[in-house]
């Protein structure tokens, strides 16, 4: 085994261990960072292949052809016209890309395309919980527009180009403020400067009650329970929410104090929060079964991942495929 093939085997071993530990829950992975590292590693192998290994193989094949031609010429002088040996087969073997380059340099274009698409255009996301029921169901595979709110540098998530402003009613994917390695999805309820109140299961923004229209009962497969369904309008977006009158209204903060927690007042009726500059107040559409800004605080602008807009697959219910508000 050559040094380069050994190095490639070690790199693949590290990748398998990392992905295995991630899958089994031993640690939390960062897919954006992993994809970035894979792009850099395969780029290094691709450059090495193009400017070092491939020229060496071509030179070796050329030398073989020259040696074969010289041998045939010498044998021809001796009156020997028929020469044993398959030069073409040997040449093909010399030009053949070794497995460790095929599985590194050969993958670079594909990994680069995936990295660029995921970083700047669209990112897939799987709905892991029922906090956005009835808009999004557990198991929905959705697409997130990475450029809707502006272009951000991958991994560090630094915005370099502005686009659309965040609006009330948007369904947004963001990095969980408590643990930025995790992605969360909720609906934007409060913009910077808004005063958001959720008291006795009634939402009020800047002193104005958000009107709802009853839509009957809703059955949730995940919790196997019925609860009232309402239509609500936030900004320009009309959507449905699920409200469970059997649940308590208190949303006291978790033991740790989140940034700007002094902007929130908690009571047995609920919570009132003043959204600080550059932050957003997020809530789930399953209002009484959602861990959101009422519990862990505000989402800073730098945590924004993108705007969710399309269900591209749900293997348990193909009828879920389509756009949503």
Whether 223 sits among the annotated catalytic residues: the reply is no
b/e string for 98-131 if b means 16 or more Cβ within 10 A? Answer: eebbebbbbbbeebbeebeebbeebbebebebbb
d(C-alpha 269, C-alpha 34), whole Å: 44
Q: Which of 172, 138, 127 is nearest to 305 (CA)?
A: 172
Whether 158 sits among the annotated catalytic residues: the reply is no
SS3 64: helix
Q: Which one of 119, 145, 186, 290 is the catalytic residue?
A: 186
Which residues lie across from 198 on neighbouring strands?
203, 271
Phi, psi (5° rounding) for residue 57? -65, -40
The bridge status of strand 212-220 relative to strand 270-274 is unpaired
Cβ-based neighbour number of residue 265 at 10 Å: 11
d(C-alpha 147, C-alpha 121), whole Å: 6
Please confirm whether the linkage preceding 192 is cis (ω < 30° from 0): no
Burial of 285 (0-12, 13-18, 19+ CB in 10 A): buried
SS3 19: helix
Write out the catalytic residue numbers.
Answer: 131, 186
């Amino acid at each position: 085994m050559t040094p380069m093939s050994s190095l490639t085997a070690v790199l693949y071993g590290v990748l398998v261990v990392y992905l295995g530990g991630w899958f089994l829950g031993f640690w939390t992975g960062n897919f954006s960072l992993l994809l970035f590292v894979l792009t850099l590693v395969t780029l290094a192998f691709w450059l090495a292949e193009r400017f070092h290994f491939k020229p060496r193989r071509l030179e070796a094949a050329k030398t073989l052809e020259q040696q074969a031609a010289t041998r045939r010429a010498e044998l021809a002088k001796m009156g020997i016209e028929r020469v044993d040996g398959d030069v073409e087969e040997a040449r093909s073997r010399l030009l053949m890309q070794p497995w460790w380059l095929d599985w590194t340099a050969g993958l670079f274009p594909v990994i680069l395309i995936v990295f660029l698409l995921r970083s700047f255009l669209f990112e897939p996301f799987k709905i892991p919980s029922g906090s956005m029921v009835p808009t999004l169901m557990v198991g929905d595979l959705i697409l997130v527009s990475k450029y809707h709110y502006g272009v951000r540098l991958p991994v560090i998530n630094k915005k370099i180009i502005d686009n659309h402003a965040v609006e009330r009613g948007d369904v947004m994917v963001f990095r969980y403020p408590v643990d930025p390695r995790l992605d969360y999805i909720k609906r934007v309820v409060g913009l910077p400067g808004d005063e958001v109140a959720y008291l006795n299961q009634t939402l009020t923004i800047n002193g104005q009650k958000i009107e709802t229209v009853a839509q009957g009962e809703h059955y949730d497969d995940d919790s196997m329970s019925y609860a009232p369904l309402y239509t609500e309008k936030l900004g320009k977006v009309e959507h449905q929410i699920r409200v469970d009158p059997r649940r308590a209204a208190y949303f006291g903060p978790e033991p740790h104090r989140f940034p700007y927690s002094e902007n929130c007042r908690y009571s047995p009726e609920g919570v009132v929060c003043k959204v600080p500059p550059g932050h957003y107040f997020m809530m789930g559409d399953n209002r009484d079964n959602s861990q959101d800004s009422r519990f862990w605080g505000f989402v800073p602008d730098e945590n924004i991942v993108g705007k969710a807009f399309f269900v591209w697959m749900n293997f348990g219910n193909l009828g879920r495929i389509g756009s949503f508000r």
